[in-house]
Amino acid sequence: MDSEGFVGAVEDRLVPIAPIIGYAIKKQLHDVGADRHSLTPEIALKFIDRMTDALDLFLGKQGAMDAKKMMLRELRRHAPEYAETLG
């Protein structure tokens, strides 16, 4: 998995909405026990779920769900071998 590419893509899409989201990304990575260099696809799914919950505060329910879809697309793009197992 290209974990740096995944985290960078998520930051590129979400941080412009509100700069504090950059902090939320770092916190959620820390909370799942990873960083931008060591994220695995399995841990990325946990990260996506936690970010979706956090984004609900910033974007509302629909905005958070749209962000989740974007993060799942980025996961498929940056971990194609894992995406095949997701279906």
pLDDT at 83 over 90: no
Sign of CA dihedral 27, 69, 46, 10: negative
| In a domain? residue 71 | yes
| In a domain? residue 86 | no
pLDDT at 8 over 80: yes
- Amino acid identity for residue 24 in this structure: A
| In a domain? residue 58 | yes
What percentage of the chain exceeds 90 in pLDDT? Answer: 85
Which is nearest to 30 in space by CA: 53, 47, 52?
A: 47
CA 87 to chain centre: 19
| In a domain? residue 84 | no
Domain that holds residue 11: 3-79
| In a domain? residue 14 | yes
Assigned token pair, 2: 């290209």
| In a domain? residue 26 | yes
Q: pTM to 2 decimals? A: 0.90
* Domains of the chain: total: 1
